[in-house]
Amino acid sequence: MIKTEDILKISSYFSKIHHTPGRLRVKIDKAILDEVKNISLDDIHSLPKYIDGLKDVKVNKIMATATILYDASIFAPTIWNDIIDGVNIDENIELINKLQSQIKED
């Protein structure tokens, strides 16, 4: 399973393409491949199993984009902006850890 710090590390390679409450589409910088060798696409796709409020994560390797579907009542859109912009890191780590403690049952 991906750790919270890994999620924040991954998100530092994202730039917003389009964002509406509940749906975020990002461009992924290809430099991510050099930094996060220990994280697989399966790890990323499985995140919704482990973090309450995430509905789906789809990665398009060819276009180097990702679409994240989420519950906007759990993750306010401003939280995603903060995560991508690398601000309020301590609060975001605390929130993600809290949501991970509410792991969904398979």
DSSP letter (8 states) at residue 104: P
- How do residues 17-76 score in pLDDT, each as one tens digit? 999 999 999 999 988 877 777 778 888 888 888 888 899 999 998 999 999 999 999 888
**Tally of helices (H runs) and strands (E runs) in the chain:** 6, 4
- H-run or E-run covering 28: strand 23-28
* CATH class assigned to 4-100: alpha beta
Domain ranges of the chain: 4-100
Is the pTM higher than 0.85? The answer reads no
